[in-house]
């Protein structure tokens, strides 16, 4: 074994590098296309509320001062927004920071963690990093959540149940009845963590927030949200979590680094949260484009998973990495999925209409329009 391998914990060697997706600069260096559609990272093509820029400028003027370590203004704003006590809210450097904090605070070597699959890789990676064992519950062949299999997996008590709703990368979701079945199967000692990064896009009669359904539950729980997607603050990294009880949040908060969210990000999030009109415009535009792109892919004969998020998970008909490379040559960035069993799938974000058109033109070239 090399010195490098000896220097780190064995759990670290089991982690695969995070598939962050290609940047515009990397694509330009590789192919120098005339135009680029960056559709690999589920970013908001419209961007944040126009009110954010002045708030950012004001915060930058005070950059020599440490940020509020408790993010008090943002927590108060979120408490009013969600109708809960601020003491139950934690702020993170993106919701992925909160995933890491929760894992470090709660998981022990040998603990069993149940998750949906294919998954957001960090749901598994942070558990693996702590020495826990991950049990995957795969989606059904029609790319919907296998609720029966998930309930069966919970029949044996586990330390943590963690999943995204809507799922990332697939986009499918648990309805209220389905989520109710899952939560009813959870053992009292299980920590339930629901990642709702895409909840703003999913809101509707057949999509419940777990924060509402878990309220008053006897087992510990946390529901995580982010400002990176619908609010358009991906570059500033702000996530937030609701915890079932303030004492649980207080204990887990001890693992958080004290200045984990910078002052610019805190100020931007407070202002973005208050602009309901902009959020509604972002969501409406994305949902309309998601429908249009999904229908166009179906006409090309491409299998697409049902989605309530700002992306679509589609079957490339072969190796997704090679397929994504062919798209790169046409100026389109998507994310080929690299988890076993789904390496013939890729995830494409819903971008601006002209980006989506560029993607669909490239897809027509690669898969061939039906005769």
Domain definitions of the chain by residue range: 7-38+277-367, 52-274
End-to-end, the C-alpha distance of the chain in Å comes to: 56
For domain 7-38+277-367, give the CATH number: 3.90.1150.10
**pLDDT score, position 370:** 46
Binned at pLDDT 50, 70 and 90, residue 20 comes out as confident
Least confident of 9-13, 52-56, 88-92, 361-365: 9-13
**What integer best gives the mean pLDDT of the chain?**
95
Residue 53: pLDDT over 80: yes
For residues 46-69, average pLDDT: 96
Higher pLDDT, 16 or 247: 247
Residue 44: pLDDT over 70: yes
Binned at pLDDT 50, 70 and 90, residue 27 comes out as confident
- Kind of pairing, strands 311-315 and 345-349? antiparallel
Binned at pLDDT 50, 70 and 90, residue 16 comes out as confident
Per residue in 161-177, pLDDT (tens digit) is: 999 999 999 999 999 99
Per residue in 250-306, pLDDT (tens digit) is: 999 999 999 999 999 999 999 999 999 999 999 999 999 999 999 999 999 999 999
Per residue in 196-215, pLDDT (tens digit) is: 999 999 988 899 999 999 99
Binned at pLDDT 50, 70 and 90, residue 371 comes out as very low
Q: Tell me how crowded residue 330 is: count the other CB atoms within 10 A of its CB.
A: 18
**pLDDT score, position 2:** 66
- Kind of pairing, strands 345-349 and 160-164? unpaired
**pLDDT score, position 1:** 52
> 346: alpha, beta or left, given left = phi > 0 and alpha = psi -120 to 50?
beta
Pick 52-274's CATH classification: 3.40.640.10, 3.40.50.300, 3.40.50.12140, 3.30.390.30: 3.40.640.10
**pLDDT score, position 346:** 98
């Amino acid at each position: 074994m090399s010195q490098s391998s000896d220097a780190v914990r064995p759990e670290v060697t089991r982690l695969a590098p995070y598939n962050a997706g290609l940047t515009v600069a990397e694509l330009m260096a590789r192919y120098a296309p005339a135009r680029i559609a960056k559709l690999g990272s589920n970013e908001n093509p419209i961007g944040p509320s126009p009110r954010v820029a002045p708030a950012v400028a004001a915060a930058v003027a005070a950059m020599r001062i440490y940020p509020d370590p408790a993010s008090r203004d943002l927590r108060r704003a979120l408490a009013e927004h969600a109708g809960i006590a601020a003491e139950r809210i934690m702020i993170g450097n993106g919701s992925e920071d909160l995933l890491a904090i929760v894992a470090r605070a709660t998981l022990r070597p040998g603990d069993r963690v149940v998750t949906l699959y294919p998954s957001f890789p960090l749901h598994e990676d942070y558990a693996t990093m702590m020495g826990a064992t991950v049990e995957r519950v795969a989606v059904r062949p029609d790319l919907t959540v296998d609720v029966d299999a998930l309930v069966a997996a919970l029949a044996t008590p586990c330390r943590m149940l963690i999943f995204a709703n809507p799922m990332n990368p697939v986009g499918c979701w648990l309805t209220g009845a389905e989520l109710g079945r899952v939560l009813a199967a959870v053992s009292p000692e299980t920590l339930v963590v629901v990642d709702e990064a895409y909840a703003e896009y999913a809101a509707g009669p057949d999509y419940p927030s777990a924060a509402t359904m878990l309220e008053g539950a006897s087992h510990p729980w946390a529901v995580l949200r982010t400002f990176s997607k619908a609010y358009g603050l991906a570059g500033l990294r702000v996530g937030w979590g609701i915890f079932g009880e303030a004492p649980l949040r207080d204990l887990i908060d001890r693992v958080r680094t004290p200045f984990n969210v910078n002052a610019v990000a805190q100020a931007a999030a407070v202002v973005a949260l208050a602009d309901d009109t902009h959020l509604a415009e972002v969501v409406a535009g994305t949902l309309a484009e998601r429908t249009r792109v999904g229908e166009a892919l179906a006409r090309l004969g491409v299998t697409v998973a049902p989605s309530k998020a700002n992306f679509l998970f589609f079957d490339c008909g072969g190796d997704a990495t090679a397929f994504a490379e062919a798209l790169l040559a046409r100026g389109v960035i998507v994310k080929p999925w690299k988890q076993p069993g789904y390496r013939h799938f890729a995830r494409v974000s819903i971008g601006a209409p002209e980006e989506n058109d560029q993607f669909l033109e490239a897809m027509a070239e690669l898969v061939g329009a039906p005769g």
